[in-house]
Amino acid sequence: MIDKIKEQIAEVSSFTTDNLDAVEAFRIKYLGKKGVLNDFFAEFKNVPNEQKKEFGQTINQLKQAATEKVELLKQALEQNASEEKLFGDLTRPGNPTELGARHPISIVKNKIIDIFSRIGFNVSEGPEIEDDWHNFTALNLPEYHPARDMQDTFFVQTNPDILLRTHTSSVQVRYMENNKPPIRTISPGRVYRNEAISARSHCFFHQVEGLYIDKDVSFADLKQTLQYFTTELFGKSKIRLRPSYFPFTEPSAEVDVYWGLETETDYKMTKGTGWLEIMGCGMVDPNVLKNCNIDPEIYSGFAFGMGIDRIALLLHQISDIRLLSENDIRFLEQFKSSL
């Protein structure tokens, strides 16, 4: 009988598995109610008295060996499991990484920057929270000037001197204050106007404004520059300049580009005229130059400004301006560009 127990002890010590269920089956087989150990204990009363001591000790050895084995195997397997949780299955293929896409506004902005940088324009930026001087007064829009109403303004708190810029012309004022002519700069950035939000207009949007100041700059230079720009951006070189009004330019004009009337979309986009209005422009008003410490007797210049969002909508046939700020990944991932 004692030999049988010893055989079991040998079996227990050589047992191994990497499966938790097998450990449990092993525990039940040896330590369970109807297990091997209890069978041996039941034999105890039949063992001759002189062998009882050795028999008892051997059973205890078996019990200890089985208990230790169960503990050991359990511990090892649990540790493996937690390591697996930590590192995962190291043989599985890597996670597919989503490639990002540029925002359509950035794409158009970068294209515009690229086009103007080729003819010597640099990029200037300024604050979105502006003061009255840089957004209005220096631009020939003194207090109570009716044209201030053209750009419904968000004021910051109750201070009428601090506001969210309504155009990036404010950056041009800052640039002229800090740089001597010749100046060739474009200013892209976000602007704010207190307007009802709809498919066609938003209370914030993006502009690129351009400024060129030097000796003997003429309206012809402006037209040439704009023609170069529309050819590069839209592939269209036919433009027209319609007389318009801006307080900071004189004369001022609205720029239309001839889009054509070849497709149904052309008809829709141009409302049947073939022409698309794309920006405002003009010769910088001498008062503005004076306000920025540039002598209008020596220097002249032109300025222009356009909405990036509108151009993005046009170029990509997007029907609702709100899509541009909703950050819906299904919308955004459709735009891929190297710029």
Residue ranges of the binding site for Mg(2+)? 250
Which one, 259 or 302, has the nearer CB to ligand PHE? 302
- Which residue sits closest to ligand PHE, CB atoms considered? 305
Q: How far is the CB of 102 from ligand PHE (least distance, A)?
A: 25
Which one, 111 or 167, has the nearer CB to ligand PHE? 167
Q: How far is the CB of 100 from ligand PHE (least distance, A)?
A: 31
Q: Given the structure tokens 């306000």, which residue do they identify?
A: 291
Which one, 67 or 244, has the nearer CB to ligand PHE? 244
Which one, 8 or 172, has the nearer CB to ligand PHE? 172
Which one, 58 or 230, has the nearer CB to ligand PHE? 230
Residues annotated in a binding site: 250
d(CA 237, CA 221): 15
* Nearest CA among 309, 116, 278 for reference residue 212: 116
Q: How far is the CB of 237 from ligand PHE (least distance, A)?
A: 21
In sign, the C-alpha dihedral spanning 127, 128, 134, 139 is: positive
Site of interaction with ligand PHE (CB under 6 A) = 167, 169, 209, 246, 249, 280-282, 303-305
Which one, 173 or 303, has the nearer CB to ligand PHE? 303
